[in-house]
Amino acid sequence: KAGVTQTPRYLIKTRGQQVTLSCSPISGHRSVSWYQQTPGQGLQFLFEYFSETQRNKGNFPGRFSGRQFSNSRSEMNVSTLELGDSALYLCASRPPGTVNTEAFFGQGTRLTVV
């Protein structure tokens, strides 16, 4: 069974640009969450999608947005990039069921803003 796939693995963007990251969850998983990982802040929750609806949202500015498609694939978009947006962005999917199911993570997209 294929794992969570994130593309691209690496990105370099310039301040002010926008970027779109993609996440394909494990087959059958309908919940997809996004996290930002930085050395100082650890893993911070961005948002979670379930069946094409945003179910939870973290404390990030409106420049960060996401969506989920009918096949459960998800994208996140960051507009007007800032240097501080440089981070590893991780996507995780969860199987349907109760809250006690663990999340499965992709390898992440390393975004560098210059």
Partner 1 sequence: AQSVAQPEDQVNVAEGNPLTVKCTYSVSGNPYLFWYVQYPNRGLQFLLKYITGDNLVKGSYGFEAEFNKSQTSFHLKKPSALVSDSALYYCAVRQAGNTPLVFGKGTRLSVIA
CB of 103 to partner 1, least distance (A): 6
- Which residue, 8 or 16, is less far from partner 1 as judged by CB? 8
State the DSSP code for 72: S
In one-letter notation, the amino acid at residue 16 is: G
CA distance 44 to 41: 7
92 binds partner 1 (CB under 8 A): yes
Cα angle, residue 41 at apex, residues 90 and 60 outer, rounded to 5°: 70
50 binds partner 1 (CB under 8 A): yes
Interacting residues with partner 1 (CB under 8 A): 4, 33, 35, 41-45, 48, 50, 55-56, 58, 90, 92, 99-100, 102-108
